[in-house]
Structure formats: structure tokens, C-alpha cells
Amino acid sequence: MDRLLVLVRHGQSDWNLKNLFTGWKDPDLTEKGIAEAKAAGQRLKALGLGFDVAFTSALTRAQHTCSLLLGELGQSDLQTIREQALNERDYGDLSGLNKDDARARWGEEQVHVWRRSYDVPPPGGESLKDTVARVLPYYCQEILPRVLRGERVVVAAHGNSLRALVMVLDRLTPDTIPTMELETGVPLVYKLNADSTVSSKQVLSA
């Protein structure tokens, strides 16, 4: 039994390129992001991996990444579950703002706190702690049981929603998780034990 769980952050989006806070806003992938998503599928295919079900968020950039990745695996018709609980962290009033403009408005230190603290939300938005509280119940109820049954699962989502899962899988703390970066389009391949702990992890970097 594989108990395979693969996490993939979406490829570069148009707003990543423009250095904007994105959150629940819905830009699509850039040409580079499309290439990253396809390359992720190719690297998974090179390992001989395929999937029984896919999960993605309610946002276009993650859905497009998922579709492109599955296309490279010859699994375009795979059951794909779209779920708002897997959305990116909501940046509230920062959404759509250039990060440099935000620093000019609120100050470098304040913006750094909003971006890198665990439990301080930006105005009108979510902290990473809030995002974890949204993502983890869905993972425990809907994703993990399928993995433990032996289904091979891929999750294409976002930097912060996937941080919530990595925090649990890698046993990171509120102090260490905010500084952990997830590269766009790079699959994290986990194999789990029967008790849901990690037996192995592989990062499929370019």
C-alpha cells in the first residue's frame, strides 16, 4: 500500500510576477507558471507516479496547475475535487496591492509581521494560524482518510494552504513554519505510515 500524498504549489501566477498580494483574488498562470505546472507533471511521470484522486482550491491558478499536471500524466479525466477550504490565505485589505507599496504605506516592519508572523492577520484578512484552522479539518476529514485507504492523492493548492499541511506532516512549529518557503510548481512527494506519520518525503525540484 503506497499511502501516497503529493502536494504542489501552483505555478507562477500573473500577480506573483507583478509582486502583488494575491490571497483570494483570482489571476491565472503566466507562461512561466504554465511551464512549471507541466514540468511538475513530467517529474512525477518520470517517477512512474499516477493518482486516484486530485484535490485543488476554488481558485483558477491552482485548478489550472492541477489540470496541466494531470495532462502530463495522461490523467486529464481524473476525479478532481475543488474546495474553498484549500484556498490561499486571505490577505484582506492587502489583496491586490504591490508589496513595495504596502511597505511604503504601513512600514517595512508592520508588513513583515503580517507576512511572517503566525497569528497576526492583516486588516480584514487571515493570519497563517487562521489558514491552518481552515485547512486542517478538511485535510483530516476528506484527504487523509483516502490516503490511509491506499489511494494516491495529489493536492494542487497555494503557498500558505500547503504550509498548513506541511506544518503537520513535517512536525514544524508556529515559530518555524512562517519562514518555510514552498517553490511554485515543485511537487512534495510524501509516503505515509498507517498512523498518518511520514515514512518518506521527496522534493522534486527542477
| pLDDT, tens digit (0-9, with 9 covering 90-100), for 13-33 | 999 999 999 999 999 999 999
Domains in the chain, please, with CATH? 4-203 (3.40.50.1240)
Copy the grid coordinates of residue 183.
517553490
Q: Is the dihedral of CA 26, 104, 19, 162 positive or negative?
A: negative
| Annotated catalytic residue 10 | yes
CB 69 within 8 A of CB 59: no
Tell me which of 10, 64, 126, 158 is the catalytic residue: 10
pLDDT for the residue numbered 188:
98
| Annotated catalytic residue 112 | no
| pLDDT, tens digit (0-9, with 9 covering 90-100), for 88-146 | 999 999 999 999 999 999 999 999 999 989 999 999 999 999 999 999 999 999 999 99
Tell me which of 36, 64, 88, 158 is the catalytic residue: 88
90 sits in the region (left: phi over 0; alpha: psi -120 to 50; else beta) called beta
pTM of the predicted protein model: 0.96
